[in-house]
Amino acid sequence: MQQPGSDSESQAGTAVRIGARTWIVGAAVLATAYLVWLVLAGALTALVLLFTGILIAVALQPIIDRLKARMPFGAAVGAAFAVVVLVAAAITSIVVAPLGAEIQHLVQAVPGYVGALKEQFAAIQRFVKNDEFSRQVAGTLANSAGGTFSTLGAHILGGSALVASLIGNAVIVLLLAVGWALSSEQIETFVLSLFPSASRRDWKRAIDEIGARLAAYVQGVVINGAVVGIAMGGSLASLGVPYALLLGFIVALLQAIPMVGAVISGPIVLLVVLATSGWIKMLIALAIFVVVQVLDQNVLSPIIFGQRVRLSFLLIIFSTVVGGTLLGIPGAFLAVPAAAALQVIVTQIVAPAIRRANGIEPEGAQARK
């Protein structure tokens, strides 16, 4: 006669056996996931170039729309991009020569500037010679600043390979932008055909909103970066700081990363000014940098961007961190427009669908009742 509870005891004592087939299937799944990750990681650069081209095409779309009312669509696209290329070539011809000379001179002078930085911090060590903790802090800052300046010089040096890579990527981005501008309407029609007719209008509205926001963002970034870069570079030049053009260019470029760009460009500017011009001009440059950034965040950016790009501070910071972690500096540049597009999809497509599924009426409908 079987004792009560014997079944449960025998089941508890039975070991769970995993067959060889299960192990093989699990290993195959992990290997496949790893291969997929390798493929995606290798394709990330291409995706970054594609998204950059899309941003340029979207930014030029308002101009193309105006031109195609007076000429064929293909000619309008060609004219818009021809103007962009001519403007870029004109700016390049004016800026590249002096900018290249400053970069070359800075790279050659890096060893001397590293020594100058260490001397500046050594002076602090002598000034606070009675405070052991302050001396240690000053010594640590001296070594860190010298290493950072050397690293900056090595990255700037890049060489002909870096220049060739940048030119090649610029050509690829331009071709992708032209291709997107020529085929975006067909792509949009195809994408909309994949959705049910009931939701097609919502997706059309969302796609139009994404295009408007991305265009406003790119146009705002270009104007904002140019104004801030010229203001900072001009101020440094008026102080007699060497490499003012290069520093203004760095500030303008990193200004494309909202909130975070200033945190990156600020220390670069201050280190170069300290190494080349001493503490007094560095403190003046710090004051100018703070004033420019405060005016930009509170006056210039609201005027340029207005209400067309509506992103919260938290979303900007989070998207920038995620993009920078995954793709480095290019990811940080592209994270905010990607977050803007995702926000439109969530607020205009996903959230209304969830409310309908749960029987929740939109706020506007409740207010009308």
145-181 residue pLDDT tens: 555 555 555 555 454 555 567 777 888 888 889 898 8
Domain assignment present for residue 364? The answer is: no
Tell me: do 285 and 320 sit in the same domain. yes
Taking only the tens place, the pLDDT of each residue in 218-273 is 888 888 889 999 999 999 999 998 888 888 988 998 888 777 788 888 888 888 88
Res. 290 pLDDT band, cuts 50 70 90: very high
Residue where a domain terminates, one of 162, 194, 226: 194
Tell me: do 269 and 315 sit in the same domain. yes
Residues found in the chain: 369
**What is the per-residue pLDDT for 120?**
65
Lowest model confidence (mean pLDDT) among 63-72, 124-133, 341-350: 124-133
Q: What is the mean pLDDT of residues 200-210?
A: 88
For residues 192 and 187, what is the distance between their CA atoms, to the nearest angstrom?
Answer: 9
Tell me: do 184 and 258 sit in the same domain. no
**What is the per-residue pLDDT for 291?**
93
Domain assignment present for residue 5? The answer is: no
Tell me how many domains the chain contains. 2
Element (H, E) at 202: helix 197-239
Tell me: do 242 and 152 sit in the same domain. no
Provide the Cα torsion 282, 288, 294, 300; round to 10°. Answer: -140
Mean per-residue pLDDT of the chain: 76
Tell me: do 205 and 349 sit in the same domain. yes
Tell me: do 80 and 123 sit in the same domain. yes
Domain assignment present for residue 169? The answer is: yes
Taking alpha carbons only, the member of 212, 209, 355, 309 closest to residue 364 is 355
Angstrom CA distances, 9 to 5, 48, 221, 243, stand at: 6, 59, 70, 80
Tell me: do 216 and 85 sit in the same domain. no
Residue where a domain terminates, one of 167, 194, 221: 194
Give the single-character DSSP code of 293: H
Lowest model confidence (mean pLDDT) among 27-36, 42-51, 71-80, 293-302: 27-36
| CA within 13 Å, CB half, 292 | 26
Q: Which residues are CB-neighbours of 52 under 8 A, at least 6 positions away? A: 173, 176, 330, 334
Higher pLDDT, 121 or 55: 55
The amino acid that residue 134 corresponds to is S
**What is the per-residue pLDDT for 232?**
92
Taking only the tens place, the pLDDT of each residue in 91-117 is 877 877 787 777 777 777 766 766 666
Higher pLDDT, 124 or 352: 352
Domain assignment present for residue 305? The answer is: yes
Q: Which residues are CB-neighbours of 340 under 8 A, at least 6 positions away? A: 210, 213, 214, 217, 309, 311
Domain assignment present for residue 166? The answer is: yes
**What is the per-residue pLDDT for 10?**
47
Residue 255: both structure tokens together: 């200004």
Taking alpha carbons only, the member of 2, 155, 181 closest to residue 78 is 181
**What is the per-residue pLDDT for 36?**
67
Tell me: do 300 and 205 sit in the same domain. yes
Lowest model confidence (mean pLDDT) among 9-23, 34-48, 75-89: 9-23
Tell me: do 240 and 122 sit in the same domain. no
Tell me: do 316 and 173 sit in the same domain. no
CA angle 362, 363, 369 (to 5 degrees): 95
Domain assignment present for residue 21? The answer is: no
Residue 364: both structure tokens together: 């506007």
| pTM across the whole model | 0.69
Q: Do 263 and 278 form a contact (C-beta atoms < 8 A)?
A: no
CA angle 349, 353, 358 (to 5 degrees): 155
Higher pLDDT, 205 or 313: 205
Determine what percent of the chain is predicted with pLDDT higher than 70.
70
Work out the number of other CB atoms within 10 angstroms of the CB of residue 135. 16
**What is the per-residue pLDDT for 234?**
92
Domain assignment present for residue 15? The answer is: no
Is 127's pLDDT higher than 80?
no
Domain residue limits at 265: 198-355
Residue where a domain terminates, one of 194, 223, 245: 194
